Structure 1
Amino acid sequence: MSAVRNYWTFNRLNSQGKIKIEEIAQAKSFIKQQCSTKANQIPFSDSMMQRHLFALLAQKESTVGLIAQICLRCFISEQIKQVCINLERQFGQNYQFNRYDLFPFVLDDTLDDLKHKGATEYKSMATKILQTFDPKLASLSTWTTRLVRYEQNLNRFLKECGLDLISDWAILNDTDPKQQERIFKEFHHQNDAAIAQASLLLKAYHTIYRQKRLENRKAGIKGKCVTPSSEQLQQIAMFLGLSLTPEQTLTQLQDLAEQLRQYRIAVRRGKLKQESFDHSDILLQVEYQQVTENYEDLDSLAQEEFLNRYLQQFLTCLEQAIAFVVPQWLNLQKVPKKQQFLTALKLFHCQGYSMTDIALAIGLEKQYQVTRLMQLKNFRADIRQHMLQNLPHQIIELAAIYTNPELLQKQEKQIELALEEQVTTMIEEAAAEASMAKNRPVKSIFACSLCRYLNH
């Protein structure tokens, strides 16, 4: 259950830049009244409360709509404060800033626009958060965290402190070798020997570390870029042909990442106005890691929420494609073959029958007649095509909640290609499964979704 008082206590900055917490009587009375409508007077959860309050915002000119907005902005003020506190706890000591340095950039709401309607056109951070929030897509705390950490002035201040919120391993994982050579030559002014040594180190890292991550992703294992294991560090040293301890290899990698980080910070401070990252160096995946890489529970929850929603959307799109394509194929069949086609699909994908066994079960004489009836390659291709007509748009809309909108616009083509690859891989897995012996277990996503449809 939520800390309900967050919906009636408002955090504002006083003239000394310190937090002043105000209890708003109207909001307190309103929230208590809303909670009392639940059975046994159990308070709403945050998600229930936020959806309820957000729905009341539609009553813009009414007292109810006004109080609902105050309650939500009270909650947002607490979340903004906690984001700043978490940043201080994680990075403040090393980068020499504290929460009070961060508050003025984002904790700027006063509620004055509600008290004196039309008195100001200035939009506070809380107002921007509320205007872009959709309770169907994310929790308000997750959305607040995301927007606060993307706030331009706050990020500019952190980068001036030397803090770039992405791990060494994500930087190395993402840096293109040609880009690294250019950075060392044009930014760090290194000699050819130093550039070659750094290039070899990055190649070793990609060969050992990044390759393992790619294998894990194909196996469905996902996660953040974590510190390389001792075994990986030893393998990197062997790749380099050097007798290094894991600690020495780790130090070299961290030094390489630090030099790449310095370049990123310089670019984003505007000190290299003629320089910019290559198109490949801020992929959507890495930009998302910038939001989630080094944060505590809120961000891991945001990451989990995104992945869960993505998987749900992928499966929904697959199920919609199956529900669209199967009836189309049935319409192409003559009446006697309609039921044969459905039965053949079910026996083949759900029960693992061979083509010969299917022929016997549905009253055909030869195996090739079943193959001709089912045309599995064309059937799967139609489902793939239907998915690719709808999935990219849906995923891009979902990703817009979790990543920088400007970056997302630039990366739409890459997202489409990545989704095409994933859908193709899914279809290929289904085809590979289909070539196995009879009585095989149903494992592929495609087969499981098709069987759910056929069983209903």
Structure 2
Amino acid sequence: MSWIEGLIVALILFFFFIILVRSSIMLNNKNLNQRDKLASCCQLYQVRSNGREYKKNLEIAEIWINDLYSSSQLTIENIVNNLLDIFKNTRLSNLTEKGKAGLCLRCYISEYIVSACKKRASLFSGSQGVTYQSLLAFVLDDDGQYLIIIDTDGKQKIVDTEGKKQSEIIENSIFTVEILKSYKHSLERKRSLKNWTYLKTQQNKQIVEFLSEFGFINSTDWGLLTRIKKYQLQELTKQEQLIIEVYGQVYKRDRKGKRSKCQPPSDEQLQEMIGKLNIDTVKKPDILLNQLKNIAQKY
């Protein structure tokens, strides 16, 4: 082999070496980017005694989520949907897997709980003494120490790493788990888990009561029912859709020009709605009122 041929071979080998190195770097970058995305599913926001939030890395969640998704190219939205499929699957016998999926989701939504508190506190001036840190203690009550599932009775249950239910959490249900429990996960649903977290945080009873001391009036169920969007109606039964339609006709008409807090519909309004509905199972004001409350709870 002449020196020219040797040089050509060396250049070819060098060229392939460069391609190999670049491919390796690109692959590593992809893996790093994926791990960065997954970090939101294994870092749980918590609150210190001084009211400041911090992120706590949960090793059990980190190992599990990276084993499943670190080599995939799924978006974080698709990963969250997959986690919801696992957590919400009532037929899944592996309770540990459900608990781990739930833990990752609790980490994921904790960031948006903090964001919702910041957004709510921003409505007040600094002189009023309302900071987002003053709201965090009401909603960042998840220490991430346990795997938790929603049992068939709708209650929060602790699960050990062997998939056995240990005890029932009756009092002080964890807020992140309650958000996941109330979220109706389906492909047709338009509201993301992120937006649902914002909504449930803003509606948190303790936050609403605390802010009411500073003159803040939160939207009541009766106000919410007048602002249901068309795509949200698709989530309701035919009867519920009809109830909302008639409610809007009567309640909106009587609210026209008023700016005060929305009050429950009067007996006269309910009777008028009942007449318009003409549904055999809805003939009494208290029955209609309860149905309206049940619909409002979905939003």
Q: TM-score range by the shorter chain?
A: 0.5 to 0.7
How far apart are 1:416 and its partner, in Å? 7.7
* Distance in 2 (alpha carbons) for counterparts of 1:129 and 1:76: 9
- 2:68 is the alignment partner of 1:146: no
* Structure with greater proportional helix content: 1
Query: Does the 8 Å CA contact 1:11/1:20 hold for their aligned counterparts?
Result: yes
In the alignment, structure 1 residue 35 sits paired with structure 2 residue 35: no
Aligned CA distance change for structure 1 residues 44 and 392 (closer, same or farther; 3 Å): same
How much does 1:417 deviate? 7.9
The letter for the 2-side match of 1:125 is: F
1:396 & 1:49 partners in 2: Cα distance?
36
Name 1:213's counterpart in structure 2: none
CA shift, 1:83, in A, is 0.5
Q: Match of 2:229?
A: 307
**What's the CA shift for 1:70?**
0.6
Residue 417 to residue 24, structure 1, CA distance change in 2 (3 Å): farther
- What residue in structure 1 maps to residue 173 of structure 2? 123
1:287 paired residue among 224, 233, 238: 224
CA contact (8 A) 2:117 2:202 kept: no
1:439-454 matched pairs, under 5 angstroms: none
Are 1:158 and 2:211 an aligned pair? yes
| 1:112 equivalenced with 2:142 (yes/no) | no
Report how far residue 82 of structure 1 moved. 0.8
Aligned ranges 1:361-380 → 2 under 5 Å:
none
Contact 1:5 / 1:28 at 8 angstroms: preserved in 2? yes
Question: How far apart in 1 are the matches of 2:42 and 2:194?
Answer: 16
Q: What code does the residue aligned with 2:200 have?
A: L
1:26 alignment counterpart = 60
Q: Percent identity?
A: 20
Separation in 2 of the partners of 1:68 and 1:312?
Answer: 28
AA at the equivalent of 2:215: G
Distance 1:60 1:92 in 2: 51
Whole-angstrom CA distance in 2 between matches of 1:19 and 1:419: 50
Partner residue, 2:81: 51
Contact 1:113 1:120 in 2 (8 A): no
The question of whether the paired residues in 2 share the 8 Å contact of 1:113 and 1:119 is answered with no
| Contact persistence 1:8–1:25 (CA under 8 A) | yes
Gaps of 5+ in 2: 1-33, 148-157, 161-165, 245-263, 279-299
Shift of 1:92: 4.5
* Residue type at the aligned position of 2:128: Y
In structure 2, the partner of 1:132 is 182
CA distance in structure 2 between the aligned counterparts of 1:5 and 1:164, rounded to whole angstroms: 36
The residue type equivalent to 2:54 in the other structure is K
User: Does 2:226 match 1:393?
Assistant: no
Shift of the 50–16 alpha-carbon distance from structure 1 to 2, 3 Å rule, reads same
Q: Which has the larger radius of gyration?
A: 1
| Structure-2 separation of matches of 1:164 and 1:49 | 37
Determine helix, strand or coil for the equivalent of 1:135.
Answer: coil
The answer to whether the aligner puts 1:13 opposite 2:13 as a matched pair is no
Separation of aligned partners in 2, 1:415 and 1:112: 49
Normalising by structure 1, we get a TM-score of 0.37
Q: Post-superposition shift, 1:24? A: 1.7
Distance in 1 (CA, whole Å) between partners of 2:129 and 2:199 is 23
Shift of 1:10: 0.4
Deviation at 1:152, TM superposition (A): 1.5
2 CA distance for matches of 1:45 and 1:413?
48
Q: Over aligned residues, Cα RMSD in angstroms?
A: 3.9
Aligned-residue offset at 1:132: 1.5
Aligned equivalent of 1:70, options 99, 103, 106: 103
Aligned pair in 2 of structure 1 residues 283, 81: CA closer, same or farther (>3 Å)?
A: closer
| Greater percentage in strand | 2
The CA deviation at 1:44 is: 2.4
1:288-437 matches, cutoff 5 A: 307-310=229-232, 391-394=238-241
Query: 1 CA distance for matches of 2:168 and 2:105?
Result: 21
Tell me which residue corresponds to 1:87: 120
CA 1:125/1:416 → structure 2, altered by over 3 Å: closer, same or farther?
farther
* Residues matched between the structures, number: 201
1:29 is displaced (CA, Å) by 3.1
Q: Which amino acid in 2 is paired with 1:27?
A: A
Q: Tell me the secondary structure at the aligned position of residue 167 of structure 2.
A: coil
The Cα shift of 1:73 comes to 0.7
CA 1:113–1:60: 2 relative to 1, 3 Å: farther
SS in 1 for 2:44: strand
Q: 1:162 to 1:283 in 2, by over 3 A?
A: closer
Structure 2 residue matching 1:112: 3-state secondary structure = coil
Indicate if the aligned counterparts of 2:208 and 2:218 stay in contact, CA closer than 8 A: no
C-alpha displacement at 1:4, in angstroms?
3.5
Residues 165 and 118 from structure 1, CA distance in 2 versus in 1: closer, same or farther, beyond 3 angstroms? same
Secondary structure of 1:15's partner? Answer: coil
Aligned to 1:102: 135
Tell me, in whole angstroms, the C-alpha distance in 2 between the residues paired with 1:413 and 1:61.
50
Q: Could you tell me how far apart the structure 2 residues matched to 1:5 and 1:414 are?
A: 54
Contact 2:45 2:53 in 1 (8 A): yes
1:406-445 C-alpha deviation (Å, 9 max, x unpaired) = x79x99888888999xxxxxxxxxxxxxxxxxxxxxxxxx
Q: Aligned to 2:122, what secondary structure does the other structure show?
A: helix
